[in-house]
Amino acid sequence: MSFLDNLILGLNVAFSWDNLFYCFLGVTMGMFVGVLPGIGGLVAIALLLPMTFYLDPVAAIVMLAGVFYGSTYGGSIASILLNVPGAPNTAVTCLDGYPMTQQGRAGVALLMTTVASFFGGSVGILAMMLFSPLIASVALQFGAAEYFALMLLGLVAASSISQGSAVKGIAMVVLGIIFGVVGTDVNTGIARFTFGIPELYDGIVIVAIAMGLFGIAEVIYSVTRVKPGQLRAKDITMRSMIPTRDDVRRSWGPMIRGSTVGSFFGVLPGVGGSIAAFMGYAVEKRVSSSPERFGKGAIEGIMGPESSNNAADQTSFIPTLTLGIPGNVTMALMLGALMIHGITPGPNFVVERPDMFWGLIMSFWIGNLILVVFNIPLIGLWIRVLAVPYHMLYPAILMFVCMGVYAVNNSAFDVLMVLMFGVLGYAMRVLDFSPAPLILGFVLGPLMEENLRRALLISRGDFMVFLERPISAVLVVSTVLLVAWMVWSDFRRGAKLGSAEAK
């Protein structure tokens, strides 16, 4: 079948009444659970999975996919208004989205976030349509050496996310790695840093650490600082959403760069939208001529990450459907839903089930359009939900966070962990340490260790394997250039401050 024939087939499948209904249902539910702090798309998909047993396979995957990328749209609303991410991949939006709310620019932040989400999602869908075979073949070429080099690049970039001292950023990355290696060593089977606690043998749940550092910590920090009625629906009108010319001018570059970064990282199995969002933020901070604006309400600080994580959400379906390798935890649930229906994704999936593959892609367009059309008018409703006086709202936030964390593994221990990380996050907030590099170190550290060991086993201990393989060599060189850029930027900033003091 030609490309045009595939598009027509996909449109016919996506516009069937059943699939339209479940697409609308999925994105609406995804947006709702994304707004509610502590729930997130992963928990919602896990709870909805039994429902899909009784649906047509195409309708089931369309609905679950809608919940997935719809929750990313909604998650940014709570991040911007309350500094409480609806999901881990919207945590970085807090860094500049919440300061914009404090400056009275919440309406602009919400509107531009919707625009960035749609732009990033559209780029991701186009990448999936046009470059699925090519991107899948590139991802297949990633071995242990390439993954290690990629993780090294990510950890170096993570130190640029934090505010202030680079030493603090590196310290947070190291702390994140320490938390990441807690659990059973995959190579030796030896328990590390578990202190004899059985619940830690499988490691620390990322939802617990993310919700603790961002959600619980913000509640503790804000409970005596947020004034009643500070968040009101009437404060965010359609007029207040109109961006300035400067906002529009500063947004195009971050959206394009963020969509590119997200499309790339979404394809890599095991990476996902969280890392894409953090990398999108790091890129924008590094290319900016005034990086000191980041963390204080820079529009680029929300446009880059939001376009990045939405692009990653779409392209993460590529390795799942074409390789049978889940791009992230949510994709693993998608894979499970397909296998329950007797469908095994893999290299032959596109040929054997073109109706499902292209129908799903076309439903992405429909779902993203629904989210744009409904997200902006419903912002007032979401604000009314979140505009409850804070002394009444924060117990509900704590309840939703605890419910969301508990629902992942049905473990009360995870609830204790999220409370512990909440206290740690509050201490970090007081001492001016950013939690963002910690999260990235937590995610990348174990992957980096695993692939380092694997690469050295394959090469029999020869470290030149990282420079002999072309993709790995490019990533290593990029890391070296990034380090040089960071040193040069710090030197230039110090020279400017010295000349300013001399005057």
- 183: enclosing H helix or E strand: strand 183-184
Q: What is the pLDDT of residue 387?
A: 63
The per-residue b/e assignment along 305-340, b for 16 or more CB within 10 angstroms, e otherwise, is bbbbbbbbbbbbbbbbbbbbbbbbbbbebbbebbee
Among 83-92, 140-149, 459-468, which range has the highest average pLDDT? 459-468
- Per-residue pLDDT reduced to its tens digit, 216-246: 776 777 665 554 444 554 456 667 677 788 8
Of 309, 314, 316, nearest in space to 270 by CA: 316
User: Given this model, what pLDDT does residue 326 score?
Assistant: 63
Q: Does the residue 424 lie in any domain?
A: no
Across 103-107, 158-162, 399-403, least confident range:
158-162
Instruction: Output the pLDDT for position 37.
Output: 62
How many independent structural domains does the chain possess? Answer: 1
Q: Is residue 391, in this structure, part of any structural domain at all?
A: yes
280-299 confidence digits (pLDDT tens): 888 888 887 777 788 788 88
The secondary structure of residue 188, as a DSSP letter, is T
In a domain, 208, yes or no: yes
Is 73 within a domain? yes
Torsion angles phi and psi, residue 192, rounded to 5: -120, 130
C-alpha angle 441-444-450 in degrees, rounded to nearest 5: 130
Q: Can you tell me the distance from the alpha carbon of 498 to that of 503, in angstroms, rounded to the nearest whole number?
A: 9
Query: For residue 414, is it within any domain?
Result: no
356: exposed, middle or buried (Cβ count in 10 Å: 0-12, 13-18, 19+): buried
Residue 72 pLDDT > 50, yes or no? Answer: yes
Q: Which residue's entry shows tokens 């590196």?
A: 170
What's the mean pLDDT when you consider all of the chain?
77
pLDDT at 323: 67
Average pLDDT over residues 427-432: 82
Per-residue pLDDT at 194: 85
Question: For a pLDDT cut of 70, what percent of the chain falls above it?
Answer: 77
The boundaries of the domain holding residue 295 are 3-405+432-502
Say if 411 falls within a structural domain: no
Domain membership of residue 416 (yes or no) is no
Residue 425 domain-assigned (yes or no): no
